[in-house]
Amino acid sequence: MTLKIPHHDINLEPFMSRPPDFNRKFERIQTERSLKSQVLATIPLTDQEKLFHIRICDRAERENFSFLPGQFVMLELPGCGEVAISISGSSSNRQFLELCIRKVGRVTGMLHRLEAGAFVGIRGPFGTHFPMQEMADANVLLIAGGLGIVPLRSTIYWANEHRRDYKDITILYGARDPSQILFDYQAEEWRRIYGLRMLTIVEHPDENWEGPVGMITDLFENVPIDPDNTFAVVCGPPVMFKFVCSHLSELGLPRQRMFVSLERRMHCGMGKCCRCNVGSTFTCLDGPVFDYWTVMNLKEAI
């Protein structure tokens, strides 16, 4: 007498035939399916950062892909590795993604050697986003330090596309020296066309620099903040969060109206590998965008 246990072949289940939609978090999808994408252009911005224009090859997958400012994708170079990169372009651009990547490790180093035409893989989008709807009818203060301007750039695009939803929008941007300023070619457009106020400060000026010199918090002197009707979005190195956010708290801005974006190394983007663990949660699931109150309650977050 023998017993043959029936085989459940999950390769036959419906989720296998659909293109993966990472926005449907609770549905069974092919979690490791990378959307094949082509690099359209690589644009050097500084000696360390390059902007990549990346287009998802398959039309259905491309049309399916949508994100909100602040979210990230897992960018894969098959055979080399996968890295989490925040999306830097406009969410209404459904033709290609803009990713600004600093050459800092093994995979990003390889990515910097890619040329237009190369094929990469994209999974995502993952993570939380900036509260674009909640910020409506309020003043918005965008504060970026160094590479922090990269995720904020998609917020800036959004703000322009929904300009009438928001009151005053101010960008404070701090960089180490003038050669490290990203998207300098767009600053004029943001000011004159988008109608945003933008102040840039550098720590170490060169001979041509005419703007303010110092730390990002020095800019606050010139910026009136209405604590009752302002949202702040802060992106930058962790040390900056503490200084900027405690300054804003002193001005009376509630911690739940300050948003920061955290960075960790990720291996999955889906809360499974535990590598981006902060305190009692994961950067990829409850972050990367957290409000400052939550961050204060997470051990080792900043």
Sheet holding 72-77, edge to edge: 81-86, 72-77, 119-126, 35-44, 49-56, 97-102
d(CA 243, CA 223): 16
Q: Tell me, by CB under 8 A, how many residues bind another protein.
A: 57
- Binding of residue 299 to another protein (CB under 8 A): yes
Single out the segment in contact with another protein by CB under 8 A; choices: 85-93, 130-138, 221-229, 257-265.
Answer: 257-265
CB of residue 4 to another protein, shortest distance in Å: 4
- Report CA-CA distances (Å) from 285 to 86, 174, 288: 14, 28, 8
- Binding of residue 32 to another protein (CB under 8 A): yes
- Binding of residue 281 to another protein (CB under 8 A): yes
The rounded radius of gyration (Å) of the Cα atoms in the chain is 21
For residue 122, the SS3 value is strand
Single out the segment in contact with another protein by CB under 8 A; choices: 133-141, 194-202, 245-253, 259-267.
Answer: 259-267
- Binding of residue 280 to another protein (CB under 8 A): yes
Identify which of residues 227 and 271 has a Cβ nearer to another protein in the complex: 271
Options 31, 92, 133, 222; binder of another protein; rule CB under 8 A: 31
The single residue listed with the structure tokens 């009692």 is 280
- Binding of residue 273 to another protein (CB under 8 A): yes
Please say whether the beta carbons of 67 and 91 come within 8 A: yes
Sheet holding 230-235, edge to edge: 197-202, 169-175, 139-145, 230-235, 258-261, 289-291
- Binding of residue 59 to another protein (CB under 8 A): no
Which DSSP string do the residues of 39-77 spell out, in sequence order?
EEEEEE-SSSEEEEEEEESSHHHHHH----TT-EEEEEE
- Binding of residue 265 to another protein (CB under 8 A): yes
Options 213, 215, 279, 293; binder of another protein; rule CB under 8 A: 279
Give the residues lining the site for another protein (CB under 8 A). Answer: 1-11, 15-16, 22, 25-34, 36, 76, 78-82, 104-106, 108, 117-119, 121, 263-265, 267-268, 270-275, 277, 279-281, 285, 299-300
